[in-house]
Amino acid sequence: MRTICTLAVTITLCATACAAQFFPKNSLDERKDDFKAKWYSHQLQALNEPSLWEMRHNPAANTYRFLWLRSFHHPVAVRLEVKPDGTGLLTTKIANGAGGYSPGTLIQNPTVAVTKAETDAFLAKIEKSGFWTAPNPVNDQRGTDGSQWIVEGVRNGEYHVVDRWSPSKGLAHDLGMFLAFDLARLSIPPNEIY
């Protein structure tokens, strides 16, 4: 019995220690950084998503992701991988839980090709929005329920994240909406977009 308990503890510790780091320290919130990093990482792991933060070690990586965590609706991740020829691969993942609670299990996981024109349109939005120099963390939460709009990017060995609470405008909103609706063509009722 002791051997089994020791093995279980060792496996648990290894799983925790070996887990990917999704966000750099102090990148999400000046006061609740650890809380947010654990919450967002748990959601990304449930969605079986890679760490863009760790991808920065690959200088060829050129990838963007929108993580949409709505308190009472399914968590969504939309990831655009920019290929060397300027086209893209778009992966959309949805779990059956809720972004503010348990993520549940993966229920959608399609990957589709994105044209060069569509990829260029997104990259133009990235540049126009000032994503790479946008401040973060920004403590903008004004309530308890709502949604987190997390946009990450990695290119040329550089990583950046922008995290906003229930934005109705601004770069996180605009980039998230473009990825989720213009590229992924998600069908979500207007009352669930918050």
pLDDT tens for each residue of 145-155: 899 999 999 99
Q: What are phi and psi of 129, to 5 degrees?
A: -75, -20
In a domain? residue 129: yes
Give residue 31's pLDDT.
Answer: 78
In a domain? residue 192: no
Distance of CA 78 to the CA centre of its chain: 7
DSSP 88-117: EEEEEEEESS-TTS----EEE--EEEE-HH
The Cα 36–Cα 42 span in angstroms is 10
The Cα 84–Cα 56 span in angstroms is 16
Give residue 16's pLDDT.
Answer: 37
Give residue 70's pLDDT.
Answer: 98
In a domain? residue 16: no
In a domain? residue 11: no
Domain count, the chain: 1
Give residue 11's pLDDT.
Answer: 33
CATH number at residue 164: 3.30.1560
